[in-house]
Amino acid sequence: RGHRVALVDSMSHLERAHDARATADTDDGRRASSDPSPSTQSAWKRTIASCEVRFPLTPYKSQVQVMSAVVRAARRGTCALVESPTGSGKTLALLCAALAWSESESERREDVGVDDDEDGEEDEARKRETKRIGNGKPPKIYYATRTHAQIAQIVGELSRTAYKPHTVVLASREHYCVNKSARKGGDVNAECRRLMDAGAAGGDGKGCFYSGQGASKLASLAKNHPDALDIEDLVKMGTSKKGCPYFASKIMAESAELIFCPYNYLLDPRTRSAMDIDIEGSLIIFDEAHNIEDTAREAASEEIILDDVANAIDRLSEMRRRATANVSECELVLRSMKGVYDWFIGFCDEKNPSYGLKQTQEALSAMVRGEQILQTLAEAGLTEESVLEVMRALGVITKYNQENKDPKERVAGSVFNTCEKVLNPIKFLLSRGEVTARDYKIVFTKTRESDRVVSTQRVNSELNRLPVEELVKINFWALNPALAFRELVSENGGARSVVLTSGTLAPLNSFASELGVPFPIRMEAPHCVDMDRQVWGGIVAAGPSNIALNAGYKSRGDTSFQDELGACLRDVAKVTPHGLLMFFPSYSLLETIVRRWRETGLLRAIEQASGKKIFQEPGKSGSYGKKPVTLETVLEKYYSAVATSVKAAKHPYAPAPANAKCRGAILFAVCRGKISEGIDFADANARAVICVGIPYPNIKDALVAAKRSYNEEGAHRGLLSGSKWYDQQAFRALNQAVGRCLRHRHDHGAIMLVDSRFNNSNIQALPKWLRPAMQKSASRFGDQVKSLENFFVSHAENPPSDDAPASKTGDQRKNSKRARVSIVATSPRKAMRNTPITSFFQKASTSNATHSDPLMRDIEQPSKKTKDDQIGDYEAPVFTDDDELDVDIDALMADNHELSPEANVAQVLDGVEWEDWEDDDDLMAHAVQATQTAHTMSKVESTTPTEQVLDVVSPLKERAKKVCGDDSVCAKCGNTRYSQIDTENDDRIALQSQYLDCVLQTKVNDIHEFAVVEMRGGCCASPPSETVEFDRDLRVAFSRVNSCDGDRLIGLRVEATNAMYAHLCDRVLLPQHDARA
């Protein structure tokens, strides 16, 4: 078995095989058919980690990497960070991978049960595994997005796949309510609860007609519908069938395999409870997860109105007096709520000795640290242990109230909602004592409102209350997103695996530190576009008049800046065809700029010069100073104007003629707004994106200031510093905006960053794929506009042809590809006949006189190729942990033949069976030629295998020299040492193996943390070792990177790897301990 593993690792190294290259065909074979009918067929089918994944297209390399990461995370029950650039098709990859795992897991769960041992005692390990995988139940997949609007796009992507799971979209009452009378009241939630209470309490038919049997009937119809239904579809069906979509969706969720919902439905424990969401053992995918940090903090935060707490206590007191059941639970909740209320009222009542409010510019307020209230909460009967019992009691009386038909005992559901609002943040605050208490700030604010009305309940209240005109709000601010996120992956009822994916997660290590959860699987996928040809990037520091452009807080109000920005937009819009997006840091700046341009006539001048219509994302006060308009209306008009422009052009890639009635449109939007995320602006809809300024959060916002201070204080615990967190928030928002114009493989567009503050330092925070384009741009504005014009002219003159690689079908690619379909024990000579690497070894052996090896004799020569033949790309097989290689090395050695490594590999390849799509001889000639050209005549020499590693001379030596250069071998050149490299923003990975213990000279079974960096020139180090060492535990091939004098180990370069660590290939792992010193 040891020989077998070593040989498999050897082949992985020599063929440079990893998961993406083994399963994905080249991008040139990708099909992008506009016909929807064949899109549901599986043009691509591969096995990833024992799960058969079916994909409607031939995927990009980045999509294969995404699918591999998701399947591996789900199979292992771990969490993953997956960064895939906007426009690379990650949504389709996520769906297919998750559903493929679900199918495989469902089959596996059917075979899992709980067995008894011989003594009649249950096997505890098997019992825990059965509980973890759901006791045979089909696994659930939760696909969460930021907004309901994004869900509609994802449901549309699902229809393109070959998978047909039972699905449901969970949404709020505002989105689903079909009761016209309930919608007229304005507050749909309150009206719905009132109708449900009336129907349940009196049973007199005054409840909602659409609930009950109507909702059940609708759920049954929707579940049997052949297509996945989004919110709009279910609302239409509910209207026609007289059923409530909201309650129908909750019924459907009980048996659904794929559930779509917004973030907060999973992160917010109150929403999870209200929607009856059970995440235990499920796979959760957060798409566009760059927002999850803020959402998680909000889920653990709460705003409470003091009067609401008092009203809830009064109602609970009435319920206690009339209760005939669950009396002890009611008393426990009532006692805890009264204790918290006494603290609130004491802090806010100026007559009380514990009064703590102070006058500010806007109101009386105070901020209290979480650790300062532990004693106060303990006096109210709330401790780390007791708060869970109080929450359990609250759940009991809430359920009892819902099921109680006696109107005298029932109270409004809002009473229990208020109790949850008070107790949930306290539960998080107390969950780990002082450790989690310091994650909170409690803010008290008291204002005066003279128009408030005295209610009858207030008059009859027995509680001590403030004057009616005084409004007190208590905000529990959670500053650590890990408080809510850790609940998702807890051992007690948590999900099996959580996958976070977005185009802007980097830096991945800092993101993981904020969430407080280990992410052993991390991946940064490359973009699918040709960056040199399809992307134009530029930083605009000054406009046409050479006036500096700085959108910072101090200079944004300067009219010279505003006018220069308008002139810049005018010149850019003239040369940009069709659609153009312009993002601002905030709504206030957007409205200020537009107001100035309108007053000076510059707005009209831009429209006349460019021939484009101008639209604006609606803000809180509406657009253009008129009555508020909806985002849907704005987008409809914008798309219509772009479509008119495209129709007037010679072809979609050419601009509309100068005399056209409409030559496109300009859309003003805001970073972090709805337009900047999740809305598709493919092709002509966004040929250019202009980002004005850097969208920093409002520094004067008290919550932002508190978070910065919290991170500064927690930097020693591994958190980002406050300033780095602040910068990261800005650039993540910026990165989302710049990705609007690149939506697929053959899209093209321009990205322009307008602000003099952009420099070589902070552009490193931009997406990895965009940085080179920004560094190549000209510095003068006139030169930039000319370059931009040439960029669009080039695409207009050379549009993609009808037979572009994107239009190739699955049938066409069969002429140039072959796929591994199985690994089985076959005849000893079959692998030699049809595996090109065998012929490569034969040639190497011939030149080195190794004919004495009996297994290397009589190998068939590949057929001769004609001059008309084309050499196809050969993609090597990948060997994963699930592959079975039936090679008996001991039996071969019994014949006393001394086997060369070539024969060893030939025997292992005997277990590989290939399915050919065309004539085998011709294809083999092409593949052998490609392999021989790539690897030349390198000789492979084996050393004596040990229990740890197998050393071979690396055939990658020449390539390594080209990467490092000969300069790096000089010890006196003054180059930077690797130990001095700043790795703070690089990825981290933790590995464990006997090989690493030996190499790093640490104790056995130690966990080694590495910084993952690229091979860097200009660093004082010797070239990578010519000897490649194979780690049997990790199945990774390493070469050692030593100091220039060869005395000290600096790091390990990853030469080859299995699918698990494919993202580490060609990277250097720097140990994060004293061995680097």
- In this structure, what token pair is assigned to residue 975? 């180059």
Better-predicted residue by pLDDT, 622 or 368: 368
Query: Widest CA span of the chain, in angstroms?
Result: 105
| pLDDT attached to residue 663 | 94
Query: What confidence tens digit (pLDDT) does each residue in 958-1003 have?
Result: 333 333 444 444 555 566 665 566 666 677 888 888 888 888 888 7
Model confidence at 678, in pLDDT bands (50, 70, 90)?
low
Better-predicted residue by pLDDT, 1042 or 641: 641
Cis geometry, peptide bond prior to residue 1024 (ω within 30 degrees of 0): no
Least confident of 789-798, 890-899, 1029-1038: 890-899
| pLDDT attached to residue 776 | 67
Model confidence at 30, in pLDDT bands (50, 70, 90)?
very low
If DSSP codes are grouped into helix, strand and coil, which group holds residue 976? strand
Model confidence at 906, in pLDDT bands (50, 70, 90)?
very low
User: SS3 for 272-306, per residue?
Assistant: HHHCCCCCCCCEEEECCHHHHHHHHHHHCCEEEEH
829 DSSP assignment: T
* Distance set, CA 761 to CA 280, 720, 774 (Å): 44, 18, 12
- Length in residues, the chain: 1077
Residue 556 pLDDT exceeds 90: no
| pLDDT attached to residue 862 | 34
Amino acid letter, 727: D
Question: Mean of the pLDDT values across residues 589-618?
Answer: 94
Model confidence at 428, in pLDDT bands (50, 70, 90)?
very high
Model confidence at 187, in pLDDT bands (50, 70, 90)?
confident
Question: Mean of the pLDDT values across residues 120-134?
Answer: 50
Question: Mean of the pLDDT values across residues 243-270?
Answer: 92
The residues near 242 (Cβ < 8 Å, ≥ 6 apart) are 209, 210, 214
* Distance set, CA 75 to CA 22, 100, 521, 1032 (Å): 20, 11, 12, 21
Question: Mean of the pLDDT values across residues 578-600?
Answer: 94
Please provide the average confidence, as pLDDT, over all residues in the chain: 75
User: SS3 for 205-216, per residue?
Assistant: CCCCCCCCHHHH
Please say whether the beta carbons of 665 and 579 come within 8 A: yes
Model confidence at 892, in pLDDT bands (50, 70, 90)?
very low
Task: Give the other-Cβ count within 10 Å of 383's Cβ.
Answer: 15
Residue 913 pLDDT exceeds 80: no
Query: What confidence tens digit (pLDDT) does each residue in 316-342 have?
Result: 998 888 888 888 999 999 999 999 999
Give the CA count within 13 Å in the CB-facing half-sphere of 858: 5
Give the CA count within 13 Å in the CB-facing half-sphere of 563: 9
CA distance 989 to 38: 41
Q: Is the dihedral of CA 435, 284, 157, 880 positive or negative?
A: positive
| pLDDT attached to residue 878 | 40
Query: What confidence tens digit (pLDDT) does each residue in 1034-1044 have?
Result: 888 888 888 77
| pLDDT attached to residue 970 | 52
**Pairing state of beta strands 283-286 and 497-502?**
parallel
Model confidence at 1025, in pLDDT bands (50, 70, 90)?
low
Better-predicted residue by pLDDT, 175 or 189: 175
| pLDDT attached to residue 507 | 66
- Nearest-Å Rg of the Cα atoms of the chain is 32
Closest CA to 442 of 510, 374, 492, 362: 374
| pLDDT attached to residue 753 | 93
Question: Phi/psi at 557 (nearest 5 deg)?
Answer: -85, -5
1069 DSSP assignment: E
Q: Express as a percent the part of the chain with pLDDT over 90.
A: 34
Question: Mean of the pLDDT values across residues 198-204?
Answer: 52
Closest CA to 573 of 656, 670, 671: 656
Query: What confidence tens digit (pLDDT) does each residue in 921-946 have?
Result: 444 444 344 333 333 333 333 233 33
Closest CA to 753 of 741, 763, 743: 763
The residues near 926 (Cβ < 8 Å, ≥ 6 apart) are 865, 869, 870, 871, 872, 874
**Pairing state of beta strands 358-359 and 364-369?**
antiparallel
Residue 833 pLDDT exceeds 60: no
Angle in degrees, CA 811, 815, 818, rounded to 5? 100
Model confidence at 540, in pLDDT bands (50, 70, 90)?
very high
Least confident of 461-475, 790-804, 860-874: 860-874
Please say whether the beta carbons of 145 and 262 come within 8 A: yes
| pLDDT attached to residue 394 | 92
Task: Give the other-Cβ count within 10 Å of 467's Cβ.
Answer: 9
Question: Mean of the pLDDT values across residues 867-889?
Answer: 37
Helices (H), 461-502: 482-488
Please say whether the beta carbons of 693 and 589 come within 8 A: yes
839 DSSP assignment: H
| pLDDT attached to residue 902 | 43
Least confident of 379-393, 740-754, 796-810: 796-810
Q: Express as a percent the part of the chain with pLDDT over 70.
A: 72
Looking at mean pLDDT, say which of 125-139, 328-342, 509-523, 776-790 comes out highest.
328-342
Question: Mean of the pLDDT values across residues 261-275?
Answer: 88
| pLDDT attached to residue 1074 | 44
Residues linked to residue 1056 through DSSP beta bridges, in sequence order? 1037
Residue 852 pLDDT exceeds 60: no
| pLDDT attached to residue 603 | 95
**pTM score, two decimals?**
0.67
